[in-house]
């Protein structure tokens, strides 16, 4: 809608509002990552923020928003003379999940560059976002190559477009704000670290607050302009406060005491690198300016840690981000006790070398923050204002079919697994598992362009143009190139796959005390799937039937949680598990035909229950072989006497079998037979 929802009309979400406002006060904080379930006003809050930002002075007519006080000497639209200019509202530029590289960094007309030697450059979203906000909704679903471009631009403050010797560079400094739903997958650690702050949001469980949310939203939908007008006075007051805090920011003092608390906190939570210390320092300074103070206090450091460290602390795979507040308080208290230096001999009152009192630079603020201290959003009373992100609770086991159900067992420690891949060359979403034709990777050939030319194959273009030079009347040493001569480079990289786990949870698995090792193996494969940017799904079978424990998703955390709470016991309906997996693949093929599946069956190969269970399992397995679905059977059979049923199942599936020991990356036997089996002539024919 043309009229944004007013920022001051947001209900609750105190941490979210505070984090956004701190970035408005100090863009050097580095942006915000907003994590939370759908329908929690994440996007609404971000869009409302842009209306609070002060106007931006720009050079008139410059497509790259150069500052007239200090124009970029390398601006493609330059050079500009200092001074003058005009003012415009701060921009909020949205980056769609499906955006192309050209849309993000800009498009260079390669045809004109080759034929005429002209750098015809059309700016992209990075240029539009310069000195404004770059908003990425569902940032965790962004393609890897776009993430890499964002990382480069955020690190260097500039965007570079280089193609076939033609180079364009422009400034790109922006406030990066991303929103995501953790159920749809996590972010790469490299991108996580680029966000200055992170907040977790959730819908309020307080009835009165939920009622107020609905009441305001309905009023806004009925009359956006009238609703915004009712909140105009509050918006103006908040905007003026942002401007005042920006003006006060250079005067804020970050004392040695506060710096020691910041360093001690980052060390205690074992964060990697020094970016966390820097972000905490900038955040604490912005908090003081927002509160109208010129000194950073201990409470500022504490609040800065809650916003800047949860996504940076070192944690185990599949652990939810968060911060132990008791540990944080203990760390800050120890730092305060150790920070008081011995008073100088010529200063009997214990004042600092600059004449400040012992409470400056990190002491406890007076109760209530002082009589004149402005109220922070994080200090507002509300049902969710003081809640920390809740730790995930292990769901209680539910009664399932079949007799002899056992309590869930904990998974063994995960390990690094060997590479499993789908044979052939696909064209699915970018990832790190199987070979695929992609926009990025090594060049393998050329073709005529279909639509806009993006990656020129120079040698193939010259070869196509060479035979026609005489007919085109070439003179001198130049080469006459026409549109029909241009060739698009074909590249080969890696794709992400749909890894569908079919896990045997029957009594035959649990009776031999193998379920812990089995869960550890599946957890290891899930970790591998996360690193390779796969989608995952989980089908389990036990008792009389099979169920889809987790539909295909990008959230391996959800799969790990379902696996941990998986009960065992009962008979082994192997055929039902395979048929359920076949149905899942059929539906997913309609949703995303380009993403190729890899089925991982975790079982000892036994089949019991029903009429002719072994024959039924064989018929179900042959459905996968007939459709050429890549499959691997993780053989969980143990003991001195082995029946080899998992190997027989792998043969029916047209795949290969691998034991739990062979699955480990440090195993010598490894998956040599897996690779040979998948690339055999019969397998390729399937």
The model's pLDDT over 456-465, given as tens digits with 9 standing for 90+, comes to 787 888 888 8
Locate the domains of the chain by residue range: 7-54+90-201, 248-379, 439-494, 497-685
Model confidence over 537-558: pLDDT tens digits?
Answer: 999 998 888 999 889 887 777 8
What would the mean pLDDT of 342-356 be, rounded to a whole number?
48
The Cβ-side half-sphere exposure at 559, using a 13 Å CA radius, reads 34
Determine the pLDDT at residue 340.
55
Please give the residue that has the higher pLDDT: either 623 or 347. Answer: 623
Model confidence over 47-95: pLDDT tens digits?
Answer: 888 888 888 899 988 988 998 988 888 888 888 888 778 888 888 899 8
Identical fold for domains 7-54+90-201 and 248-379, yes or no, is no
Model confidence over 573-613: pLDDT tens digits?
Answer: 999 999 999 999 999 999 888 999 999 999 999 898 778 89
Q: Side by side, which strands form the sheet with 133-137?
A: 92-94, 133-137, 175-180, 32-36, 197-201
Determine the pLDDT at residue 113.
62
Determine the pLDDT at residue 528.
85
Closest CA to 35 of 7, 8, 15, 11: 15
Model confidence over 296-346: pLDDT tens digits?
Answer: 999 999 999 999 998 887 666 566 667 888 888 898 888 888 765 555 555
Give the pTM.
Answer: 0.66
At the fourth CATH level, which superfamily is domain 497-685?
Answer: von Willebrand factor, type A domain (3.40.50.410)
Instruction: Specify whether the CB–CB gap between 524 and 481 falls below 8 A.
Output: no
Please give the residue that has the higher pLDDT: either 555 or 380. Answer: 555
Model confidence over 405-432: pLDDT tens digits?
Answer: 566 777 777 888 888 989 999 888 878 8
Instruction: Tokens for 540, please give them.
Output: 């389990």
247 prior amide bond cis, ω within 30: no
Determine the pLDDT at residue 371.
35
- pLDDT over 60 at 526, yes or no: yes
Determine the pLDDT at residue 368.
39
Out of 2.40.50.100, 3.40.50.1980, 1.10.8.80, 1.20.120.790, the CATH code matching 248-379 is 1.10.8.80
Model confidence over 461-481: pLDDT tens digits?
Answer: 888 888 888 788 776 666 788
pLDDT category of residue 103 using cuts at 50, 70 and 90: confident
Determine the pLDDT at residue 280.
95
For the chain, percent of residues with pLDDT exceeding 70: 81
Q: What share of the chain is helix, strand, coil (3-state, %, to 5)?
A: 40, 15, 45
Question: Which sequence positions are flagged as catalytic?
Answer: 275
Query: HEC states along 106-157?
Result: EEECHHHHHHHCCCCEEECHHHHHCCCEEEEECHHHCCHHHHHHHHHHHHHC
Closest CA to 598 of 681, 502, 522: 502
Highest mean pLDDT among 138-142, 149-153, 371-375, 613-617: 613-617
The CA-atom distances, in angstroms, between 21 and each of 53, 83, 182, 257, 396 are 9, 30, 23, 25, 40
What would the mean pLDDT of 484-488 be, rounded to a whole number?
86
Provide the 3-class DSSP secondary structure of residue 593. coil
Residues in the chain: 686
β-pair type (121-123, 106-108): antiparallel
* CATH class for the region spanning 7-54+90-201: alpha beta
Residues 6+ positions from 262 with CB-CB distance below 8 Å: 277, 280, 281, 284, 301, 304, 305
What is the rounded average pLDDT for all residues in the chain? Answer: 80
Instruction: Specify whether the CB–CB gap between 664 and 416 falls below 8 A.
Output: yes
Please give the residue that has the higher pLDDT: either 634 or 667. Answer: 634
Residues 6+ positions from 116 with CB-CB distance below 8 Å: none
């Amino acid at each position: 809608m043309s009229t944004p929802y007013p920022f001051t009309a947001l209900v609750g979400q105190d941490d979210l509002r505070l984090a956004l406002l701190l970035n408005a006060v100090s863009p050097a904080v580095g942006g915000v990552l907003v994590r939370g379930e759908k329908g929690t006003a994440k996007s609404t809050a971000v869009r409302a923020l842009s209306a609070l930002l002060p106007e931006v002075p720009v050079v008139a007519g410059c497509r790259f928003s150069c500052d007239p006080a200090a124009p970029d000497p390398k601006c493609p639209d330059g050079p500009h003379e200092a001074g003058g200019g005009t003012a415009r509202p701060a921009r909020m530029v949205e980056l769609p999940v499906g955006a192309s590289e050209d849309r993000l960094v800009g498009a260079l007309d390669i045809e004109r560059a080759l034929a005429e030697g002209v750098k015809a450059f059309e700016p992209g979203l990075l240029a539009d976002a310069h000195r404004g906000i770059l908003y990425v909704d569902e940032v965790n679903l962004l393609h890897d190559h776009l993430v890499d471009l964002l990382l480069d631009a955020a690190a260097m403050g500039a965007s570079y477009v280089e193609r076939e010797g033609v180079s364009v560079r422009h400034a790109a400094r922006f406030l990066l704000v991303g929103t995501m739903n953790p159920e749809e997958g996590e972010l790469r650690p490299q991108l996580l670290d680029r966000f200055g702050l992170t907040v977790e949001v959730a819908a309020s469980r307080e009835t009165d607050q939920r009622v107020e949310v609905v009441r305001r939203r309905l009023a806004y939908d009925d009359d956006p302009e009238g609703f915004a007008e009712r909140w105009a006075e509050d918006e103006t007051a908040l905007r003026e406060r942002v401007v005042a805090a920006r003006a006060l920011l250079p005067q804020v003092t970050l004392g040695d005491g506060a710096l020691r608390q910041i360093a001690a906190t980052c060390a205690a939570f074992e964060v990697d690198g020094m970016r966390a210390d820097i972000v905490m320092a900038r955040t604490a300074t912005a908090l003081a300016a927002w509160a109208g103070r010129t000194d950073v206090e201990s409470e500022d450091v504490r609040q800065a840690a809650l916003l800047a460290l949860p996504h940076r602390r070192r944690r185990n795979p599949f652990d939810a981000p968060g911060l132990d507040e008791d540990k944080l308080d203990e760390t800050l208290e120890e730092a305060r006790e150790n920070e008081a230096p011995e008073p100088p001999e010529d200063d009997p009152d214990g004042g600092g070398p600059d004449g400040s009192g012992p409470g400056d630079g990190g002491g406890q603020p007076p109760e209530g923050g002082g009589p004149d201290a402005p109220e922070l959003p994080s200090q507002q009373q509300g049902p969710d204002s003081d809640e920390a992100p809740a730790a995930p609770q292990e769901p209680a086991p539910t009664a399932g079919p079949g007799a002899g159900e056992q309590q869930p067992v904990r998974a063994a420690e995960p390990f690094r697994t060997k590479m499993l891949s789908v044979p052939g060359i696909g064209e699915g979403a970018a990832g790190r598992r199987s070979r695929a034709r992609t926009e990025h990777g090594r060049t393998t050939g050329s073709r005529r362009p279909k639509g806009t030319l993006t990656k020129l194959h120079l040698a193939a273009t010259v070869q196509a143009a060479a035979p026609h030079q005489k007919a085109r009347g070439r003179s001198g040493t130049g080469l006459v190139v026409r549109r029909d001569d241009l060739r698009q480079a074909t590249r080969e990289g890696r794709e992400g796959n749909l890894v569908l786990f079919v896990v045997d949870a029957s009594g035959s698995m649990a009776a031999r005390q193998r379920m812990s090792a089995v869960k550890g193996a599946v957890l290891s494969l899930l970790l591998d799937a996360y690193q390779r940017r796969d989608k995952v799904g989980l089908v389990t079978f036990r008792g009389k039937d099979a169920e889809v424990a987790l539909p295909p998703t990008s959230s391996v955390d959800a799969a790990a949680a379902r696996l941990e709470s998986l009960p065992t016991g009962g008979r082994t309906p192997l055929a039902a598990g395979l048929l359920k997996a076949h149905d899942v693949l059929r539906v997913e093929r309609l949703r995303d035909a380009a993403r190729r599946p890899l089925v991982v069956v975790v079982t000892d190969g036994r089949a019991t229950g029903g009429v002719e269970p072994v024959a039924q399992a064989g018929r179900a397995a042959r459905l996968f072989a007939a459709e050429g679905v890549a499959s691997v059977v993780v053989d969980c059979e143990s003991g001195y006497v082995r029946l080899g049923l998992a190997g027989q199942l792998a043969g029916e599936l047209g795949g290969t079998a691998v034991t739990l020991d062979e699955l480990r990356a440090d195993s010598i036997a490894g998956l040599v037979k897996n690779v040979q089996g998948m690339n055999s002539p019969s397998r390729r024919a399937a």
